[in-house]
Structure 1
Amino acid sequence: MSTGLIIALIVIVAVVVVVAAVLAARARNRPGGQNLKRRFGPEYDRTVARHDGDAKAAERELAARVERHGDLRVRPLEPAERERFEARWAAVQEHFVDSPREAVTEADALVADIAGALGFPDGGQYEEQLAALSVHHGHHVHGYRRIHHAAQTAGQDGTGGGTEELRAALLEARELFDELLGAGHGDRNRQRAAIGAAPTRADAAAHADDGRTRTDH
């Protein structure tokens, strides 16, 4: 066998090895079922449920989200921006005591604003912003969906859920807000405890009514 033929065979084998390695890497990175489950977490299960258990249809939707938003680069917040967002959330929390329905509307807008500031699609495109957030924050994105729904139904003639439901929506939205903000777990736990413990005017009125009822009896 000539030297030229040996070199040609070596080159061919090397090319085959390189191509195989590239294809294997692409296969690992392609958003398949297991990769999508890991990436989206509970959002994967919710999407499957929304497709009536059709995992393939759900995976096509989730893969399309990754295709559209997977390369999104988050813009870090400046310290002053972080402080403003933190102050706005503190105001939402305080407002919840007197006006739970208005507070969840403010929280919905706040999550949209911080996501937009980080480089996600504008809050005016709710569905697209939600899709982008799900790609990068799949484990907490449902908090945005829940607070948005609460905000949209809050003023519909008393059909927007009770105080406890609104409180739960606010707490879940806080999980996503903290992740977007990059807040420490200690701060988050203190805020969660404060929201969970804060009585609303409605709570106070209910307790007062109970007291009057017991006195009357």
Structure 2
Amino acid sequence: MSTGVIIALIVIVAAVALVAAVLTLLARRPQGGRSLQRRFGPEYDRAVARHDGDTRAAEADLTERVKRHGSLRQQPLEPAAREQFAARWAAAQERFVDSPREAVAEADRLLGELAGARGYPDTGRYEEQLEALSVHHAHHVHGYRRVHGAAHASGGATGNGTGTEEMREAMLEARALFEDLVSPSRKDDVRHRADTGTDGAEVAADNSDAARSGNRTHVPWTFNRRHAKGS
């Protein structure tokens, strides 16, 4: 075998090894920029803004969130607990008409408790809880952020705090996350039936009903722009 052929073979082997190494590194990367954008949606843009437009820093932040919370498994809610959470949210909505600030504070507490019940960090660790929620509910987590901010703002509607209209909008946006967390998934239903010994026919029937209703827990909205009083 000539020297030229040997050199060519060495170059080919080295090139193949280099390509394999690059592909391995790419496969091991937790997330790419486009993947993070798809996963986090509006949270991606907020992360970039928070890092003053530094995309690389924002992506490092979001990738770290996925590492910490991506493997979290959402725990199922018992039907009785689900009904209790739904009733409390409906009551908070009704309370908003006369006491907007108290209603927002209750919504903030309720979201924290519900997230804790679903297996996220408990309500005493708001920042960590919010991070975990952003990994699994990125498109709706900002509502919780807004409600929490409104609940902890100082002053009244005419002072430095959050006004009634802002609180109303925060409650409206937070409702989407509440419904995400309180509504049963197919996996929750199957796991609950397995734990309680319900047979397969009942599981199929219940899942069919859930599919027809959009698999959401209905929580009526009870106030609008005209009804809410000032705080």
TM interval, shorter chain, is: 0.7 to 0.9
Q: What is the CA-CA distance between 1:190 and the residue it aligns to? A: 7.0
- Whole-angstrom distance in 1 between the partners of 2:215 and 2:71: 31
| Residue 179 (str. 1) matches residue 150 (str. 2) | no
Between structures 1 and 2, the one with greater helix share: 1
What secondary structure does 1:75 align onto? coil
Shift of 1:202: 3.4
**Counterpart check, 1:199 vs 2:227:** yes
- After superposition, give the CA deviation of every residue in 1:51-93 in whole Å (9 maximum; x if it has no partner): 1110000001000100100000110111011000000001101
Per the normalisation by structure 1, the TM-score is 0.76
CA distance in 2, matches of 1:195, 1:97: 6
Q: Which runs of 5+ in 1 are unaligned?
A: 1-15, 204-217
Measure, in 1, the Cα distance between the counterparts of 2:219 and 2:80.
Answer: 22
* Pairwise CA distance, 1:195: 3.0
Instruction: Say whether 1:159 aligns with 2:151.
Output: no
SS class of match (1:74): coil
Q: CA offset at residue 200 of structure 1?
A: 2.5
Deviations 1:140-199 (A, max 9, x none): 11011100000000x43542222111100000110110111127669788734x332561
Q: What secondary structure sits across from 2:97 in the alignment?
A: helix
For 2:228 and 2:46, locate their aligned partners in 1 and report how far apart those are by CA, in whole Å.
Answer: 32
SS of the aligned residue for 2:179 comes to helix
| Contact preservation (8 Å) 1:97, 1:198 | no
Query: 1:148 and 1:47 mapped to 2: Cα distance?
Result: 18
User: Corresponding residue for 1:207?
Assistant: none
- Counterpart CA distance in 1 for 2:81 and 2:29 is 34
Q: Secondary structure at the match of 1:196?
A: coil
List per-residue Cα deviations over 1:95-142 (Å, max 9, x = no partner): 101100010000000000000000000110010000000000011110
Q: Secondary structure at the match of 1:202?
A: coil
Match of 1:147 in 2: 147
Number of aligned positions between the proteins: 185
Q: Percent identity?
A: 59
Q: Normalised by the size of structure 2, how large is the TM-score?
A: 0.71
- The equivalent of 1:84 in structure 2 is 84
* Bigger relative CO (Cα 8 Å, ≥ 6 apart): 2
Q: Give unmatched runs, 5+ long, in structure 2.
A: 1-15, 185-212
* 2:86 counterpart SS class: helix
Structure 2 CA distance for partners of 1:86 and 1:25, relative to 1, 3 Å: farther
Distance 1:137 1:186, change over 3 A: closer
